[in-house]
Amino acid sequence: MPLAWLPSANLTTPKPSSPLNFEPSCRVRRSQRSAFAIKCASNPSNEAQRGEAELKIGSPIVIIEAPPALKTATPMPSLRANTGQVKAGDVGRVVARKPKDVWAVRLAIGTYLLDGKYFRPFTEEE
């Protein structure tokens, strides 16, 4: 009988399942100069629950809350205060996906980087 304090005693116990059923699939790739890159993809069913699966490049969106500041999506971005250029109800298109739920959105006044909490996908029922 293995003792509980031994490391081998815990090898036979099953791992507890995550409440979100998150099972990432990761790949390790070796690049040049002996560097490693790890790329993980989450379960597609979890993305559908968060609503990210609906957004893709070219998807129409509607602004639901005016952002306090606007950052341009140019090679040399500039940050400026939103003085009424972008309002709730404005419609645009997704141009690119950036890290941390930031999207490049093409609006009537230009292309800006917007956080995902300021817009939602446009549906035809509207």
Per-residue pLDDT, 4: 55
For position 105, which CATH number holds?
A: 2.30.30
Q: Is residue 48 part of a domain?
A: no
Taking Cα atoms as reference points, which of 46, 87, 44 lies closest to residue 64?
87
Q: Is residue 28 part of a domain?
A: no
Q: What is the pLDDT of residues 2-11, one digit of tens each?
A: 555 555 544 4
Per-residue pLDDT, 49: 46
- With a CB cutoff of 8 Å and minimum separation 6, the contacts of 92 are 60, 61, 63, 105, 106, 107, 108, 119
- Give the count of domains, the chain: 1
Q: Is residue 44 part of a domain?
A: no
Per-residue model confidence as pLDDT tens for the chain (126 residues):
555 555 554 445 455 554 444 455 666 666 666 666 666 665 554 444 445 447 888 989 999 999 999 999 999 989 999 998 999 999 999 999 999 989 999 999 999 999 999 999 988 765
Per-residue pLDDT, 124: 72
Q: Is residue 32 part of a domain?
A: no
Q: Is residue 17 part of a domain?
A: no
Q: Is residue 106 part of a domain?
A: yes
Q: Is residue 104 part of a domain?
A: yes
Q: Is residue 67 part of a domain?
A: yes
pTM summary value:
0.57
Domain extent at residue 84: 54-121
| Rg of the chain on CA atoms, in Å | 22
